[in-house]
Amino acid sequence: MPKNLKNISIVPGKNGLLSDTDQAVLTHYLQNPEIPLFYTEANRILENLVACNPEAPELRDKVMNSARRAVDNVPFTAILNPRFTFVDLFAGIGGFRIAMQSLGGKCVFSSEWDKEAQKTYLANFGEVPFGDITREETKRFIPDEFDVLCAGFPCQAFSLAGKKRGFNETRGTLFFDVAEIIRRKRPQAIFLENVKGLKIHDGGRTLDVILHTLADLGYYVPDPQIVNAMDFGLPQHRERIYIVGFRDNLNIRDFAYPEKMGGNPCFADVKERNTVSTKYYLSTRYLQTLRAHRQRHESKGNGFGYEIIPDDKCANAIVVGGMGRERNLVVDDRITDFRPVTKIKGEVNREGIRRMTPREWARLQGFPETFRIAVADASAYKQFGNSVAVPAIGATAEKILEKLGI
């Protein structure tokens, strides 16, 4: 057998035998064998492999066994007897999916173009998401029948912390790919999530275009809601806009978003129970830089700078880029070994000031402890910062299902 055929594994971006689309097809087929398109395409892929490698007749079984291992060895397996079905667009690392599966839903299609996020998604759900949803060859794999379309389309185009571009920027037009899928597939309900800034972007015209587009597609869309993760048991002040819609022929003409849960969540709820690695503690040099940076801003009347979150308070929104991590520093004086484990300027600070860990960010978003962090820290921070507040998504999804009578 050729050397490159001996070790076959399902890994997005790193399988020389199977394309990423092939891997997506095979894992989707194993999770959804009842969908004819996945069955047909999976068999075509396997037949082509055997035809191109006649010296390895056992290749078909090896590939399928590898795909089965990827599907089976995960913390969040597919629902066998689902209450409903959904698609997960701009899936990220699966925040929507965790919430929907916890309510008895089965994902019949996922799409995410970031390779690192695909790795995390695979490690937790046993499925490689399809790639670029703007491409017709990706859209063609979306099943014709499913109940709910979920989409957290990219934050960058509308975020107040970004460059405040919008529909004229490439990412801004991704909504229209969502609209095209809605037009073709006509799901019973839609559930969209975006940054709070969408509400005021371009004087409110961007949101107005979205709402009018959904109405033109034949959907009843109640007033969008600004939802704060803090109101659903998470110690994070994170506001996002939720947009839900119901197909007109269902005659649904009212909808109530979930009530706030109450309680007083705080960082201590998610803080690591054990001493964390020295690598999360700031160096003396970097701490000096942050303090000087903050002082400059304060002298100009600005409040932007690093911030230390007390154990009894809520974190700021965890975001990607800028001062995202530095606005959520904590004091943790349990450290006893101050020897650096990474290359730093200066020494490890003796004040106990550190960044939150990726696992703490996961908890701030409501991800279960069993969720696997399958990538390096830098990617993990990005992934959790771009994800959704799982309990808030779940509470809203439950209200959607109630309206659908599911």
377 domain-assigned? no
Please say if the pLDDT value at position 371 is more than 80: yes
Instruction: State the Cα–Cα distance between residues 363 and 377, nearest whole angstrom.
Output: 15
28 domain-assigned? yes
Q: Angle at the Cα of 227 (from 226 to 230), degrees rounded to 5? A: 140
Q: Angle at the Cα of 205 (from 200 to 211), degrees rounded to 5? A: 100
267 domain-assigned? no
Instruction: State the Cα–Cα distance between residues 232 and 221, nearest whole angstrom.
Output: 23
pLDDT band at 76 (very low <50, low <70, confident <90, very high): very high
The answer to whether residues 48 and 188 belong to one domain is no
- The 10s digit of each residue's pLDDT in 280-300 is 999 999 999 999 988 888 888
The answer to whether residues 46 and 134 belong to one domain is no
Q: How large is the angle between the packed helices 20-31 and 115-125, nearest 10 degrees? A: 20
**pLDDT at 4 (0 to 100):** 54
In this structure, of 151-155, 200-204, 217-221, the range with the lowest mean pLDDT score is: 151-155
69 domain-assigned? yes
The answer to whether residues 64 and 90 belong to one domain is no
> For 127, phi and psi rounded to 5 degrees?
-145, 130
- The 10s digit of each residue's pLDDT in 82-116 is 999 999 999 999 999 999 999 999 999 999 999 99
The answer to whether residues 188 and 100 belong to one domain is yes
**pLDDT at 206 (0 to 100):** 83
Examine the fold and report which residue of 22, 49, 73 is the final residue of a domain before the chain moves on: 73
Please say if the pLDDT value at position 400 is more than 90: yes
Please say if the pLDDT value at position 324 is more than 90: no
pLDDT band at 229 (very low <50, low <70, confident <90, very high): very high
Please say if the pLDDT value at position 200 is more than 90: no
pLDDT band at 171 (very low <50, low <70, confident <90, very high): very low
pLDDT band at 11 (very low <50, low <70, confident <90, very high): confident
The answer to whether residues 159 and 278 belong to one domain is no
The answer to whether residues 250 and 278 belong to one domain is no
**pLDDT at 6 (0 to 100):** 55
Highest mean pLDDT among 4-13, 14-23, 252-261: 252-261
Regarding pTM above 0.85, the answer is yes
Examine the fold and report which residue of 73, 96, 128 is the final residue of a domain before the chain moves on: 73
Question: Of how many residues is the chain composed?
Answer: 406
143 domain-assigned? yes
Examine the fold and report which residue of 50, 73, 96 is the final residue of a domain before the chain moves on: 73
Residue 31: name the closest of 120, 114, 112, 121 by CA: 121
Please say if the pLDDT value at position 170 is more than 60: no
Q: Which domain holds residue 47?
A: 1-73
Of residues 257 and 10, more confidence is placed in 257
Judged by DSSP in three states, 394 sits in: helix
Domain count, the chain: 3
**Which CATH number does the domain housing residue 203 bear?**
3.40.50.150
pLDDT band at 7 (very low <50, low <70, confident <90, very high): low
Percent over 90 (pLDDT), the chain: 77
The neighbour count for residue 59, using CB atoms within 10 Å, is 20
Active-site residue list = 155
Instruction: State the Cα–Cα distance between residues 349 and 90, nearest whole angstrom.
Output: 39
In this structure, of 50-54, 62-66, 101-105, 137-141, the range with the lowest mean pLDDT score is: 50-54
**pLDDT at 355 (0 to 100):** 97
The answer to whether residues 250 and 390 belong to one domain is yes
The answer to whether residues 149 and 282 belong to one domain is no
**pLDDT at 156 (0 to 100):** 38
- The 10s digit of each residue's pLDDT in 131-148 is 999 999 999 999 999 999
- Residue 111: CA atoms inside 13 Å, Cβ hemisphere, count? 27
378 domain-assigned? no
The answer to whether residues 135 and 194 belong to one domain is yes
Residue 66: name the closest of 91, 88, 45, 52 by CA: 45
pLDDT band at 157 (very low <50, low <70, confident <90, very high): very low
Instruction: State the Cα–Cα distance between residues 113 and 325, nearest whole angstrom.
Output: 24
The answer to whether residues 95 and 216 belong to one domain is yes
Give Cβ neighbours of residue 166 (< 8 Å, ≥ 6 apart): 157, 158, 172, 201, 202, 206
CA 358 remoteness from chain centre: 14
Please say if the pLDDT value at position 154 is more than 80: no
Instruction: Identify the bridge partners of residue 195 per DSSP, sorted by sequence position.
Output: 240
Structural contact between residues 237 and 226, judged by C-beta atoms closer than 8 angstroms: no
**pLDDT at 347 (0 to 100):** 95
The answer to whether residues 231 and 331 belong to one domain is no
The answer to whether residues 196 and 304 belong to one domain is no
265 domain-assigned? no
Residue 142: name the closest of 108, 177, 98, 106 by CA: 108
320 domain-assigned? yes
Please say if the pLDDT value at position 166 is more than 60: no
The amino acid present at 106, given as its one-letter code, is K
